[in-house]
Amino acid sequence: MLANSFQLLSCLFCRKLEDLSVDEFLLSGFDSAGEGDSDEELIYTYCIIVVVVILLDDGKKGKATEHKEQLSRLKNKDPEFYKFLQANDQTLLNFDDTDTSEDEDEKKYHRLPSALEFSCENKDLHTVAVETIKVTDKMIEDWKAAMKKEPTPRLFREVTQAFKAAVATTKGEGGAQCRYKVADSSVFNALVLFCIRDIYVALQRMLNLKPDKDQKKLVLPSSSPKWQKNQLDVKMYLSGVVQLLSCLTESTVISAVLRHANQLAPYYLCLPKQCRHLVKQLMKQWSTGEETSRVLAFLALNKICRHKQETYLNPILKQMYISYVQNCKFTSPNVLPMINFMQRTLTEMYSLDTQATYQHAFIYIRQLAIHLRNAMTMKKKETYQSVYNWQYIHCLYLWCRVLSSLHPSDVLQPLIYPLCQVIIGTMKLVPTSRYYPLRMHCCRALTLLSSSTNTFVPVMPFLLEILQQVDFNKKPGRMSKKPINFAVILKLSKVNLMEKAYKDGLIDQLYDLILEYFHTQASSIGFPELSLPTVIQLKAFLKECKVANYCKPVRQLLEKVQENSSHITGRRQKAAFGVADATAVAAWEKQIKEEGTPLSRYYSQWKKLREKEIQLEISGKDRMEDLELPEIKRRKIQEKKVEDKKEFKDLFESDSESDSDDGELKIKGSTGLDPSGGF
Amino acid sequence: MGPPRSKKRRPTFRRLLKTSGVKLENKLKNRTLKQQNVAKKQRKEQKKLRAAVKDAAIRTPRPLETYRNRPEEEEEEEFLETLPTDMMEEDDVQQMTAMARQASFITRDLSACGPVHGGKKRSADAVRSYEKVPRKMVRTEETEVIHLLPIKDQRGVVPQSVERGMTQQQRLVRLTEMASLTAEQRETLRVQKINDRKLVIASLGSAVVSDPYRNIKRVKELRGMLMESDPSVAVTVRKLVMVSLMEIFKDIAPTYRIRPLTPEEKAAKVKKETQQIREFEEGLVSQYKFYLEDLEQTIKDWKQQKKKRRQAVGFDSYRGLAEVSVRCLCSLLLALPHFNFHNNIVVVLVPLMNDADKQVSQMCCDAFRNLFQQDKEGGASLAAVRVISGLVKRLNYHVRPELLRTLLSLRIKEVQMKKDMEDTAPTKKFMNNKEKRKKLSRMQRKWKKAEEKLEKELLEAEASESKEKKIKLHTETLNIVFLVYFRILKKAQKSVLLPAVLEGLANFAHLINLEFFDDLLNVLQNLIQSGDLTNRESLHCIQTVFTILSGQGDVLNIDPLNFYSQLYRMLPRLHAGAPNDDIIIVLRCLDAMLTRRRKQVTLQRAMAFVKRLSTLSLHVLPNASVGLLAASRATVHAFPRCDLLLDNEVQGSGFYLAELDEPEHCNSQNTALWELQPLQRHYHPVVRRLALHLSHGAPSEGSAALGALSRKSPAELFNAYSVRDMTFNPPVAPPGSKKKKSFTAKYVFYTYKEFVLVL
């Protein structure tokens, strides 16, 4: 069953998943399952839940308990769906705690070593010390057995020494101060695997640490009476793990080690220096690693922050922001999902403490504003460049996302105003046609912010201005073969402006954006006034435009907007309250929203179609680009990632019983990846 | 014999070059003055020469290289260096200072400074050497001048004479120098030369500024450096000299205009001080004149070269020099509007406002704009406007719009036609008798009385004269301005100048004479109905019309209904993009149209406008929103019946037709201001506040009242909340204190706990 589910999962990951909060995740799962057997559909959904939980929580309890918890959370979050489940599948809710997929876990256990295979040929070259003991497979077996039986400090020290020696080989010519020597790559693999798998449990037993009953508080190893004695060895071991992490290149191995580091988080929390080093490595993985390692690194960072907020939260937030900025310099269809991931996870981190977030956001938004002001006053090309770049735009988007996700927050509310002003100022800085893509990114960010914070921001004028400025009747200067992907460009070249693809794309984008914006305002009582200039403008456009291809979508848009407008006008004429009555208006708007407006109905329809279109586009592109070399590579990577996920999932399961972590992670904007690109 | 000759030579050299009519006029004016003073100047020159010779005797020039041939001095030097500084006695110091006067000592100090110098000593020597360098430079300048006339080659006149002035050895060195030096060395040499020249300029400049009366002749020396001949540094040095001279003149010029002396004055015997001042003034005027001529010549050279498209060797540097000259002229234009030759500067600069070079024209336009803004007397403005008008006419209206836009900065509030208005300036309060008796003694009272009487007289005399003069000047200026505008309106309606003209008319509409009204209104009506105008231009037209009508135009019996409809039609075309800045004009129009003419406006029309304005405020930037809402508020106050728009009740028949462009027929009474609801969710706090205020019927009290905001006019609000320079008004609260932190952190945690407990 699980294997099956992973098949589905892989499909899911390849799909465009735009909103990744759990609920929507689930719903989208439903949508795509389509007209299948209802049981299968449920299983499918359930698998998704499990995977999401594994990805997000640390999987410390059995999968089943996890699942239970998840389901009850679901009950909290989405009662409708919960009811639906209750009605349809009782067994799913009364899930048995004794897990069923034990054997499958076993099966995958043994695949791990092969994944760990390490090119150690060159390490054999430097055999140095004389009095060192060579580590053999047998020794490892012995240690393993002994550890299982009774972990003693002495044994632990030996293993630590051996581990240190193993790590030292990865560095090349190392310290050579080790008692042991690891010469063979298979021994290396066995040793590392052994450590990763067993050391944590052994340590817990050795220090006599029991998971807290409350399960909410992390048990720090420094509370154990035996801590003082073993501190040095633990320290050595922990720095070994960090070092190992720093020199690994294979993503699967990195994931395994990260997972281990995650387990060891309480120990790191007791040793500030090691923790600092670990954070540095985690930061590197989070911002530059493969997808899985990014997720794992984020989980570890999150754990550290949650448990020692006062010491680590501020520096980690700062570092994360900086590495985010550093790593969003270039945007391409391949990188965009990673940037989205960073945005979402960073938002997650910012949700830990809104007061701290306010300070960060204030400083960084001000920084953005200062850049903008300089650009405005200097009016030089170099200063424009300091604003009109991807980093700036991604930062704007990040803050929009943070403020939107954490919306009902009194602390962060005041920041909406400066952020809006900065974004509008950015749009108005160089309002030429070459920067239309940038303007559209800004509009999108504003739409997001305005819809999720229930704030009014004038977005429409900036879109309509485009419609006004571009002469769509003019014959394009040249034909182009490829459509322009507006999601990954900021600036159009002069050549682009002559192309047909540019105007096609522009109409498409405007249609999307206008519809999206009006959708967010569809149930507002002022909708008719809000849409008045648009209606006038679109009518003028239809009068002028002679190109049928452009007139069609515009006419459709106009119809929908007018329909919605008259709907609202009709409804509000019957209303019994005056303009001043804010509460009555709010209630009225809510009612209208629940009833649905013509525009919102059309929007959901359109959205579905549009998503399918995008998927088709992506798959079509893949098919087409199979013929070219680089894209083949990309696909392989993606396939591989799915495999990786399977493997790394095994790792989760392997220690899930012994893990005593709490699952406090809030699943707000969840952390999944979105490989299809696009916002 | 040298100095007088050189004095004569320069004017002749200049005469060879072309001069403008104005300049010639100036020259004639000044020549008489100059001739009268030739003899005196010669005397002074000679005196100076004697002083210079005496000076030179102390510092005999020594060629750079000679010191190597004088081992005994080097020994001594070394000996001195080995001495600890604190052991030096008075005599040693004296000896050293004496030696420091010698060039060789200095040069060695500069070029071959020993490594074991104590820090203190070295710095002292460095200062001394800096002091010496300029004087040496001045002298070489003089020697050049002596031998200049007879020699001339293709490179120019001056270099030759320099070489002649040099010793054999130096010439040899110079010749080998160029060949042997690497690019890097040449560069360092150049830097060194520039530094030397800078020091010369600095010393001369500070001499002049510290005591202008005595050192006015130094200006001439400084001016001589404008002819810098060394090709490697010429451009830089010339620029430096231009700018420094400009600053010096700004500094030493008196606050009055210097006039030439009459023969009687000349003949009369005067005190020594007066004589000195006279000499200073003469010198200043002539030097200033020559300086201005030099600047003009530089600009002319650049222009002519450009037109001929000759070989472009020196083109870049010519351009740079000319730009600096223009900058200097602009700065003088602003700084010395009262001083001699101001008119000449204006005449030179006005054509440059229309220059093809964007930077130059920008610079000149800015200068004139500032001139108009800061000109309190009106005389300078009048002169400038006259010249501008002439230029516009001469070029047959093919000028840059920026040129006309400068006229917008004219500070003209009043003209002749309003002469009868009484003086609104606050009169000084005098004590009345009672107070006097209470506070002052008898003697004091007596003094006070006399004082007050005098003061009153003075005040009257001054005020009446200056005010009358000012108004006269302003009237004349404005007449010229309107002449320009009307000519363009009449003859060149299609030109690019139209926007500038309309803007100008809107700006000065309240000063237009009654007799033009009829024609002007017709012209504007036609313009606006032709449909060729942009939004901004139409808005200017409307503003002009209503400013006229609200002034003395109220005697005219014209119904401007058409203009109302025009504005109403235009409103939905404005938005937050580029036209956001036009909204300030709308606000001004609205003030004249709805608030001031409330008696002539129907309720229908007012309500239609209020509705459309608040709709528009959804689609503009916050500053415009605030302005528009404030305008709506003013209208609501002017027409209390507008509260119909706050109820959701239908009056009479018909639906509100939002898209209809006729304010009278759109059934505005049947709609409500629902847009105030989204505006109450606006991201800008002030917009939220105003929207709330309006939705409660704009009360003056209670929770929805505006407070201080209500005292500002819509246009003021528009400017106050402008986001052009990215300032945050109102400011954003900086990160708060730590206390709050723990509280909110708990709060977040609590919500999570709750969340878990439900599980």
pLDDT 10s digits, B415-445: 766 444 444 444 445 556 667 667 777 888 8
Instruction: Give the mean pLDDT of B460-465.
Output: 67
The overall average pLDDT reported for chain B is 74
Closest chain B residue to the Cα of A356, Cα to Cα: B741
Reported as a pLDDT band with limits 50, 70 and 90, residue B11 is very low
The one-letter amino acid code at B213 reads Y
* Maximum C-alpha span of chain A: 95
- The pLDDT of residue B466: 74
Please give the radius of gyration of chain A, using alpha carbons only, rounded to the nearest integer: 28
Is residue A10 pLDDT above 80, yes or no? no
- The pLDDT of residue B146: 41
- The pLDDT of residue A407: 83
Is residue B117 pLDDT above 70, yes or no? no
- The pLDDT of residue B416: 64
Give Cβ neighbours of residue B293 (< 8 Å, ≥ 6 apart): B14, B19, B23
Distance from CA of B596 to the nearest CA of A (A): 28
The one-letter amino acid code at A248 reads L
Cα separation, B543 vs B567, in Å, equals 10
Is residue B574 pLDDT above 70, yes or no? yes
pLDDT-wise least confident of A358-372, A602-616, B298-312: B298-312
Cα separation, A198 vs A218, in Å, equals 20
Q: What is the pLDDT of residues B160-175, one digit of tens each?
A: 444 444 445 555 565 5
Is residue A98 pLDDT above 50, yes or no? no
Residue pair B350/B317 in contact (Cβ under 8 Å)? The answer is no
Reported as a pLDDT band with limits 50, 70 and 90, residue A188 is confident
pLDDT-wise least confident of A530-544, A569-583, B530-544, B546-560: B546-560
The one-letter amino acid code at A232 reads L
Which of 468-497 (A) contact B at CB < 8 A? none
B569 touches chain A (CB under 8 A): no
Q: Over the range B502-522, which residues count as b (16 or more CB within 10 Å of their CB) and which as e? A: bbbbbbbbbbbeeeebeebbe
User: Closest Cα partner for B669 from B698, B639, B643?
Assistant: B643
Most confident of A358-367, B85-94, B353-362, B375-384: A358-367
Higher pLDDT, A636 or B156: B156
Higher pLDDT, B571 or A136: B571
Q: What is the pLDDT of residues A227-267, one digit of tens each?
A: 888 888 888 888 888 888 888 888 888 888 898 988 888 88
- The pLDDT of residue B54: 60
Element (H, E) at A549: helix A548-573
A408 touches chain B (CB under 8 A): no
One DSSP character per residue, A419-434 reads HHHHHHHHHHHS-SGG
Instruction: Give the mean pLDDT of A292-302.
Output: 91
Is residue B140 pLDDT above 50, yes or no? no
Which of 57-76 (A) contact B at CB < 8 A? 69, 72-73, 75-76
For residue A173, give the 3-state DSSP assignment. coil
The token pair that represents A496 in the structure block:
């682009």
Optimal mutation site among B358, B581, B612, B618, interface A, most CBs of chain A within 10 A: B618
B674 touches chain A (CB under 8 A): yes
Which of 575-604 (B) contact A at CB < 8 A? 575-578
Q: Rounded to the nearest 10 degrees, what angle do helices A291-307 and A272-288 cross at?
A: 140
- The pLDDT of residue A94: 47
Closest chain A residue to the Cα of B650, Cα to Cα: A573
Instruction: Give the mean pLDDT of A127-132.
Output: 49
Percent of chain A at pLDDT exceeding 90: 30
Q: What is the pLDDT of residues B100-110, one digit of tens each?
A: 444 333 333 33
Percent of chain A at pLDDT exceeding 70: 69
Higher pLDDT, A398 or B525: A398
CA distances for B250 relative to B208, B216, B336, B341, angstroms: 12, 14, 7, 13
Instruction: Give the mean pLDDT of A434-442.
Output: 94
Cα separation, A552 vs A525, in Å, equals 28
Distance from CA of A28 to the nearest CA of B (A): 24
Higher pLDDT, A541 or A23: A541
Is residue B365 pLDDT above 70, yes or no? yes
Closest chain B residue to the Cα of A570, Cα to Cα: B655
Reported as a pLDDT band with limits 50, 70 and 90, residue A532 is very high
Distance from CA of B80 to the nearest CA of A (A): 55
Is residue A57 pLDDT above 50, yes or no? no
Under an 8 A CB cutoff, do A579 and B680 touch? Answer: no
Is residue B559 pLDDT above 60, yes or no? yes
The overall average pLDDT reported for chain A is 75
The one-letter amino acid code at B490 reads K
Is residue A487 pLDDT above 70, yes or no? yes
For residue B153, give the 3-state DSSP assignment. strand
Which of 508-567 (A) contact B at CB < 8 A? 521, 524-526, 528-530, 532-533, 535-536
- The pLDDT of residue B83: 36
- The pLDDT of residue B143: 39
Residue pair A393/A324 in contact (Cβ under 8 Å)? The answer is no
pLDDT-wise least confident of A654-663, B476-485, B742-751: B742-751
- ipTM surpasses 0.85: no
CA distances for B588 relative to B96, B602, B714, angstroms: 77, 20, 8
For residue B124, give the 3-state DSSP assignment. helix
A 10 A CB-CB count for B295 gives 25
Higher pLDDT, A68 or B553: B553
- The pLDDT of residue A168: 82
Instruction: Give the mean pLDDT of B153-163.
Output: 50
The token pair that represents B157 in the structure block:
């006149």
Reported as a pLDDT band with limits 50, 70 and 90, residue A678 is very low
For residue A499, give the 3-state DSSP assignment. strand
- The pLDDT of residue A629: 36
> Which residues are paired to A499 by β-bridges?
A478
Is residue A306 pLDDT above 90, yes or no? no
Q: What is the pLDDT of residues B678-724, one digit of tens each?
A: 999 999 999 999 999 998 888 888 777 888 888 888 888 998 888 87
Q: What is the pLDDT of residues A616-671, one digit of tens each?
A: 876 765 554 444 433 333 334 444 444 444 444 444 433 333 333 333 343 333 33
B346 touches chain A (CB under 8 A): no
A460 touches chain B (CB under 8 A): yes
Is residue A556 pLDDT above 90, yes or no? yes
- The pLDDT of residue B665: 87
The phi-psi region of residue B588 (left if phi > 0; otherwise alpha if psi is between -120 and 50; otherwise beta) is alpha
pLDDT-wise least confident of A29-38, A510-519, B685-694: A29-38
Optimal mutation site among A348, A357, A456, A525, interface B, most CBs of chain B within 10 A: A456
Instruction: Give the mean pLDDT of A71-89.
Output: 55
Q: What is the pLDDT of residues A313-357, one digit of tens each?
A: 999 999 999 999 999 888 888 888 899 999 999 999 999 888 899
Reported as a pLDDT band with limits 50, 70 and 90, residue A97 is very low
Percent of chain B at pLDDT exceeding 90: 12
Instruction: Give the mean pLDDT of B229-237.
Output: 77
Reported as a pLDDT band with limits 50, 70 and 90, residue A50 is very low
